[in-house]
Amino acid sequence: QKEVEQDPGPLSVPEGAIVSLNCTYSNSAFQYFMWYRQYSRKGPELLMYTYSSGNKEDGRFTAQVDKSSKYISLFIRDSQPSDSATYLCACLSSNTGKLIFGQGTTLQVKP
């Protein structure tokens, strides 16, 4: 079993739709949770960073963490074609400082 599981998709939605991206993790030592966006042939870009259960909002993006069920989500409202990318969830172990990534979900937002 992978430490971080993420549905690779691909996920295709119409412009304006609400997108829900999800990951589960198994290691209780993970304390910090991140979502990265990666465009083709580019490095990952940090979108959201959370460390406690609950919601964190930034513009059209909302990150949600439920530590009791080891579940993390990213919601994108009013999705745009420019949101088309691969989204990677990542968990950080404070012990090692290493990021453990999910497989990444490829999202396509159609105009």
Binding site for other proteins (CB under 8 A): 31-32, 34, 36, 41-46, 49, 51, 88, 92, 94, 97-99, 101-104
Complex with other proteins: residue 9 or 17, whichever CB lies closer:
9
Length reported for the chain: 111
Minimum CB distance to other proteins, residue 102 (Å): 7
Complex with other proteins: residue 8 or 16, whichever CB lies closer:
8
Nearby residues of 75 by Cβ (< 8 Å), 6 or more positions away = 18, 19, 20, 21, 61, 62, 63, 64
Token reading at 34: 């991140």
